[in-house]
Amino acid sequence: MWKPLTSQATRYIFLLSLLSALSAGEASGQALYIPGGLNIKSSIGRRLAVTDIDIHWNAPAVRGRDGKIWGTDIAPYGFTVLGFGSNIPSPWRAGSDESTNISFSTDVTINGKHLAAGRYGFFIALYPDSSVLIFNRNAKGWGSYFYDSTLDVLRVTTKQEKNRKELQERLIYAFENQAAESVDIALYWERWRIPFTVTVDAKATTLASIRTQMSGALGFDPPSLEAAAAWCLRNDVNTAQALEWINSATDPALGGVQSFRALSVKSGLLAKQGKKQEADQLMAKALENATAVEMHGYGRQLLAQNKPKEAMAVFEQNFKKHKGAWPTHVGMMRGYSANGELKKALEHGKLALAQAPDEGNKRALEQAVKTLSEGKPL
């Protein structure tokens, strides 16, 4: 006859189940993680143009070993047999515990040398006055104990800074000196700084990203089509495909956008293909749909292209169409100045100053009026 289990038997069965689950976890490669070790799991990321850069490392601390880090068993010089079953000369792991790894979402250059997009194990061969940065295909190792030089993709030399005044207790990576197409990455630990420079081709990678995005659902979205075409026009690349994009944006089947921006972008792309008459006709239509600010901006664009007469025509059209509203007097001032008529420029400058909508414009116009009062062009 069946008898109910005692509480002791129930606990025994639960214990067996728990041990079975733990065994299964070990078999699947999982391990229990308990925080509080000596090293800290760390990560940092940065976007450079459209390139995502991510670094993951375990951060050791100096822990009173100031002056006893570099060139020792902690961070040995060159390539060293590390023991514990590893018999291959290996570089420093550039961190602690698992391999440090770094990933790039597009191709980059490291100190001027090409590196393809991907995720890499990152190692450093340290020397007293310089270091060799190593990017390796194996990003899942334990430190550099199982380092395989045949998997190296790039080695590049850099020069470290030593004997820095400030002690960096915990190893960190930092992004510094970011520009449009480059950023410095530096490892800081103890009193050393190990830097390298990552550079991207912003125009090429951005275009590749745009093309990828436009091949999906955004290829049916007029604002996205317009933005993609406008970027190509500004950067003078991919103009044939950009014209296809703006044609789609202005197609009645997708809403038939007839805004100044859309039509002016299309006009600019037609001009790039040598279709001047068609481009001029379309720009005339675009100006009919333009606000005072949009027309003013186009006039400024013509001035930047050293086309003072064409710019003056636009400023005059804007002034008449919008009956002297802000910022049409500003345009007339700039147009007259660019064409050498400084007295008329000054008259419109004073009228524009009286209309200034904010302190920033007011200060700029005060300076412009002062310059013109001295008989100098803007």
Q: Tens of pLDDT along 108-162?
A: 999 999 999 999 999 999 999 999 999 999 999 998 999 999 999 999 999 999 9
Q: Is residue 282 part of a domain?
A: no
Measure Cα distances from 304 to 240, 297, 298, 307 in Å.
25, 11, 10, 7
Confidence label for 372 from pLDDT (cuts 50, 70 and 90): very high
Q: CATH number for the domain including 335? A: 1.25.40
- Do 136 and 196 belong to one domain? yes
pLDDT at 14: 34
Calpha distance 111→133 (Å, rounded): 10
pLDDT at 204: 96
pLDDT at 32: 54
pLDDT at 86: 80
Question: How many structural domains are present in the chain?
Answer: 3
Please give the span between the terminal C-alpha atoms of the chain, in angstroms, as a whole number.
106
pTM of the model: 0.77
Mean predicted confidence (pLDDT) in 181-203? 98
The per-residue pLDDT for range 21-38, each reduced to its tens digit, is 334 444 434 455 555 568
Look over the chain and give the mean of its residue pLDDT values, rounded to a whole number: 90
- The parent domain of residue 328 ranges over 290-378
Of the candidates 200, 223, 243, which is a domain's last residue?
200
Written as one string, the DSSP assignment of 303-351 is: HHTT-HHHHHHHHHHHHHHTTT-TTHHHHHHHHHHHTT-HHHHHHHHHH
**H or E element that contains 59:** strand 51-59
pLDDT at 35: 55
Q: In what order do the strands lie in the sheet with 168-176?
A: 113-115, 108-110, 192-199, 182-190, 168-176
Q: Per-residue pLDDT for 20 more than 80?
A: no
Q: Per-residue pLDDT for 89 more than 50?
A: yes
